Structure 1
Amino acid sequence: MSTPIIFLTLFAALLHACWNALLRGGADRLWSMTIMCMAIALSCAVFALFLPFPAVASVTYVVLSGVLHVGYNLCLIRSYQTGELGQAYPIARGSSPLMVTCGAAIFAGENVDIDTLLGIGLISGGIMILAIRGRRLAARGLTYPLATGAFIAAYSVVDGIGVRLSGNSYSYTVWMRMLWGALMPALYITLRDAKSLLRWRPGIVMTAAGGLVSLLAYGMIIYAMMAAPMGAVSALRETSVLFAAVLGYLFLGEKLTLRKMLACTVIASGKLMIG
């Protein structure tokens, strides 16, 4: 992997941690997530004008992925209501490849090599370090991050199939994210009302920018995967769990303990082994 691609991937990891920190720091996280998704949808609608429509065979996966992303959003919001960024984010990001790997072995008969087993062990150990408080397992802080990881694993599998059927990975991504972005305001209005969504609030520009940052980070990763091995890029991207711990300390008043940094490092190392 070339040095520019390494720095690009690390920057994408930082951006991913940044928009999560912005969401975690918001007073109304459902509103913040909805505004981010609306910004993503509007941006993707512009990009869609210059791209071909994805193949019909992939449309079902576009819809299913959009719905799964909404579930991911809701679980992520609840994760940040019950836990710190430096705890919830690593558990959610770390548990998803763990679930995908185990699911592939159980349901698809894929072989698991020794490196992957070591990676699974490291990720599990890191999650346990974050989850144990004193001598107790902090189950309350585990439920929603693990559910978030399950949604990440589910939409990753769906997207992995859908993008191969689409005929154009960019078209698939743009339409999926546009649908995802459109579903969130519909859900918000159902749960609350349209008036509170559309009312101007302090920080709305920064929140919308967070959505664009999310889209930019994803685009950087796609570009990096075109120029370098996907496994290496995916693994390097998971340094975002370390960035999240530092951002939580710098901007959200979270404690940056040795235990937390150790757990994040162990999780990132485990993902590197799987990658």
Structure 2
Amino acid sequence: MLARHYPPGPDKANPHVYLFGTCVIDLFMPEAGLDAVRLLEREGLTVHFPRGQSCCGQPAYSSGNPEQARAVARAQLDLFSQPWPVIVPSGSCAGMMRHHWPTLFDDDPQAAAKARELAERVYELSEFLLHVLHVNFAQTSSQPDEQVVLHTSCGARREMGTRGHGVALLDALPGVTRVEHAHESECCGFGGTFSLKHDDISGAMVTDKIAAACATGCERLVSADCGCLLNIGHAAKRQGAPLQVEHLASFLWRRVGAAA
């Protein structure tokens, strides 16, 4: 993963961004998408949500179906036509768009050029909040103190480097203590279609993840990836584990929104 050079800040003369909401947020966690919008608007930005957007194509791509992934990406290349940042509240989806969309069109120079230009404008939400907006969460929160554990998806950690972004944002929140757990660097077992093809292995992995999180004494796990949250949250509920899950955008907004 190459180091990324960030702009000095948002364009104050043209304070617009796009939100790529992801299909999982759209279908299962819409509040996380709305909280991402609220966080961006808190910083004075106007957020645009192109209605034609859908999936990033990662399920098809990781299952060995690049033609299907290419069709999904191609249908969306022209949706983000203005030169505005594209904010994605999911590290794995952001990684797909930033690193893999351009390679899908190696045999189509025109589409490849569009994909490369778009990829340069793609930011994972926590990355954008930290390195472009330089958000300030130092104000006193009316929320009670709480301890949380952080989970970063494999794609977010390795392709977008967003674990450090999540750590920095959580550590900047008044009244919040982030506790590291023994299996933090390990996959939760979701892995998109991996959890369907290898459900026994996936189940063992998420069981280990939940046990490690609960061993810290924390009752809340925060992550910026909804696929992981669905997997961990449903498994914890099924096991009767005392662990709640929350998207990073919703957690941040809950802590700072009332003070905005």
- Structure with the bigger RCO (C-alpha within 8 Å, sep 6+) is 1
**Greater helix share, 1 or 2?**
1
TM-score, normalised via structure 2 length: 0.26
**Greater strand share, 1 or 2?**
2
